[in-house]
Amino acid sequence: MSSSLLAAAAGLGLGLSLIVAIGAQNAFVLRQGLRAEHVAAVVAVCLLSDVALITAGVGGAGALVARAPGVVTVVCFAGAAFLLVYGLLAARRVLRPAALLPDAGGARAGLAVTVSTALALTWLNPHVYLDTVVLLGSLASTYEERRWWFGAGAVLGSAIWFVGLGYGARLLRPVFARPSAWRVLDGVIAVVMLALAASLAVRGATGG
């Protein structure tokens, strides 16, 4: 295998390791996939955001973010506030699981609201900058002239994950035909969101 392909494979592995974990963004993509609601738009927002962030990191923006703790602090508090609200809404849905069933008569979220939520869950999360931009960008720099191959591998990892999560979620729809399954899912989402909000608040208070 050529050194360029090895760099791309390393980027693919790191990219997947950074995003294949339950979190605010992944939980939202999974929920939209289960509801078969604006899946293409959500996947596109998440993927294009990752492309922009990975490109910035490989291009050297990671060093700038690392030297701007004030910016990270502001993003931490903004992200904590957003995740707190989203977590409380998920907790509220635990009490009304039937409204989430794909075939239920509950109102579906509009495209603008869905896209805005996906953007907020992505760009108001400081971990995105610290992991994708700073960490991935720093490792990409070690590949010198092949760093863009590394970045291409990371982008491929994001594409595989978000497309698979968004469209593969439909395979779980028989399980989520029961209100109790939605209750468990939203309970997990609420706990994850509130825990992330708390961790971001602490990070913002301590200066990152």
* 3-state DSSP of 122-148: HHCCHHHHHHHHHHHHHHHHCCHHHHH
Mean of pLDDT values over 155-180: 85
pLDDT value at residue 167: 93
pLDDT value at residue 206: 75
**Side chain identity at residue 107, one-letter code:** A
pLDDT value at residue 48: 95
Residue appearing with tokens 């790191």: 14
How many residues are recorded in the chain? 208
Angle separating helix axes 24-35 and 179-205, nearest 10 degrees: 160
pLDDT tens, 33-62?
Answer: 988 899 999 999 999 999 999 998 888 765
Of 141, 131, 123, the closest CA to residue 16 belongs to 131
Backbone φ and ψ for 142, nearest 5 degrees, come out as: -70, -15
Tokens of 142: 């070690």
pLDDT at 100 over 50: no
pLDDT value at residue 130: 72
Mean of pLDDT values over 4-29: 74
CB 13 within 8 A of CB 157: yes
3-state secondary structure of 108: coil
pLDDT tens, 109-136?
Answer: 789 999 999 998 888 877 777 777 777 7
pLDDT at 9 over 50: yes
Q: How far is CA 138 from CA 82, 125, 146, 159, in A?
A: 28, 19, 13, 21
Determine the Cα–Cα distance for residues 96 and 92; give it in Å rounded to an integer. Answer: 7
What radius of gyration, in Å, describes the C-alpha atoms of the chain? 18
pLDDT at 103 over 70: no
pLDDT value at residue 121: 86
pLDDT tens, 59-94?
Answer: 876 556 556 666 667 767 776 787 788 788 878 877
Q: How far is CA 32 from CA 35, 52, 87, 119, in A?
A: 5, 22, 16, 14
